[in-house]
Structure 1
C-alpha cells in the first residue's frame, strides 16, 4: 500500500467515525443506554462475522484462553463504546468530540507515569494547553444545563479508557519485565469484539424496556457496522503503514467532520466556549504531532 493510499483510507476512517452524532440526532424513540446497546450489539455481530472469516475457529479459542491484557483491553473498549454514546445523548456532539480529542495527550501523560517514557517539552506544553481548553469548555457547561455538563464529564471517560488501553498495549509491545519478550506478541484485535459484547451485555438491563422503532434499528445498525466495525478493522491494518503520530494527527479530522455534520444535518451549532476550547485542544494536538513528525523526518534524513 502506498503512503498516499494509506492517508486517504485514514481520512475515510475519520469520515465514518464522525457520523455517530448526526445519525443519533435523527432517532425516533431510542435513548441513552438503549442507543448504546443496539450500536454495540450490531458492532459485535459485524465483528464476530468479520473476525471469524479472517481467523476461523482460532478466534474463539484465543478469546477463551485470552490473557489478562486482552481482557483489560476489551474492558477499555467497552467503556469507550458505552461512554461515547451515553455522552452524545446528554450534550452536544462538539463537546463530546473535543473532549475525546485530548486522548493523545492523556496517553502521553500515562506513558510518562506508568511506562517512564520521556516526554519532550513540546508535549508538556501541549498537555497544559489542551487541559486549559477542556477546562474552559467545562466552565461554559457549568453555567448551562446540568445534563450537558454531565455528558461532557461522561465523555471524559472515553480518552481516559483509551489512554489506559494504549498504555497496556505499549507495555505488551515493549515486553517490559517479561522474560519471553522476544516471543511473538499476542494479537489484540479480538479485544475490540470483547469490548462490544461487554458493552451490549451491560447496557441491556439499563435499556429495558426497549423502545427503538424499525427506523431506529436501521440507523443504529448502520452505526454498529459502518461507523464502528468497518473503520476499526481498517485502522488496525493502517497501523502497519502509517506512524502513530500521523494516525493521531489525521484522526483529529473526526472532530472537524463530526461537528460539521451535526451543525449541517441537525442544526446543532457549537457553543462559543466549545469553539474556543476546541481551538485550544486541536491547536495543541496539531502543533505537537506536526513537530513530532518533523523531528522524526529530520532524524531519518540525517
Structure 2
C-alpha cells in the first residue's frame, strides 16, 4: 500500500478539504457548552443520553446506508482501532471528571496542550515531520487560551488537574491513531464509542428523572449536533496531520463563550476577545501557510 494511503491523503485539494471539514466540526462542537447549559441536567445524565443517542442515530444511518466497519487485516492494527474507540468514548468522561475535581478554567488551559501531544505522537509513531510553523502556531494558540482564562484561574486539585492532562494526551493520541488509518470508516467507530460512553455513565446517572425541556435539548445534542461534529472531526484526520486538527479545536475555546453570550446574555470578558483574536489569527495564518506549502509541493 502506498504511503499516502497508509498515513493520509495529500495535496493542496485534500488539505483544503481537511481544513473545511475540521472547521465545520469545530463550529458544531462550539455549541456544546451552550447546549449543556440549556439542558440544565446533571453531567452524568448528559453523558448517558448523549452516548446512547449518538449510537442510535449513527447505527440507524449505517443500517440505511449500508455502511460497515472494515478493519485492517493485522492484529496489531485492529488493537489500535479498538484503542481509538475507547479513547474517543473516554474523552467526555474525563472532561466531566476533571471539571468536577478542579476549576473549569484549569481544565481548559491544560486541555490546550492537546496539540503538543498530537504533534509529539505523530512525530514518534507516524514518523510525520511536524513543520516549524505548526509548532509556532501551537505555542501562540496556547498563549491565546491562557490569556482567555488567565483572569479566572483558580487553585485546583492534583486529581482534577491530572485528569485534564490525561484528557489532553488522549485527545492527541486518538487523533493520531485515526490519522494512521485513513481508509477505516469513521461512522462505526463513533457509533461504538457512543455506546461505551453511555455504558460508563450508567452507575452514576439517573437518566429518567429529567424535565421535558432537558430531554428536548439533549435529543438535539445527541441525535444531530455531536454525532455530526464527531464524525467530521474524525474524517478530517484523513486529510490533515493530527496536530493541525487538534490546533483547529482550540477555536472552540473562543466560540463557546460567544454563543453563550449571544443567546443567554452572559458578558464576554475583554480577555476572551483578546485571546480569541490571537487564536483565530494564528489558525488563519497557519492554514494559509500550510495551503501555500502544499501548492508549492504539488504544482499544477
- TM-score between both structures, scaled by the size of structure 1: 0.71
Counterpart pick for 1:267 among 265, 268, 286: 265
Residues 117, 173 of structure 2: 8 Å contact kept: no
Partner of 1:218: 216
Partner of 2:3: none
Partner of 1:25: 37
Q: What's the CA shift for 1:268?
A: 3.2
Residues 101, 282 of structure 1: 8 Å contact kept: no
Q: What's the CA shift for 1:168?
A: 1.6
Counterpart pick for 1:130 among 119, 141, 144: 141
The question of 1:203 aligning with 2:215 is answered: no
The question of 1:163 aligning with 2:172 is answered: yes
Instruction: Describe the shift of the 1:138–1:22 C-alpha distance in structure 2 as closer, same or farther (beyond 3 A).
Output: closer
Q: What's the CA shift for 1:221?
A: 1.0
The residue correspondences of 1:237-256 to structure 2 (distance < 5 A) are 254-256=252-254
Partner of 1:16: 28
Deviations 1:202-233 (A, max 9, x none): 11211247532121111111101121123444
- TM-score between both structures, scaled by the size of structure 2: 0.71
Partner of 2:189: 191
Long gaps (5+) in structure 2:
1-12
Deviations 1:17-37 (A, max 9, x none): 322211221234x21212221
The residue correspondences of 1:81-100 to structure 2 (distance < 5 A) are 81-84=92-95
Aligned mates of 1:61, 1:169 — CA distance in 2: 12
Long gaps (5+) in structure 1:
174-184
Residues 115, 247 of structure 2: 8 Å contact kept: no
Deviations 1:76-128 (A, max 9, x none): 11122334566788877x98777766644431232123333222222232233
Aligned mates of 2:17, 2:291 — CA distance in 1: 19
Q: How many residues align?
A: 282
Residues 111, 167 of structure 1: 8 Å contact kept: yes
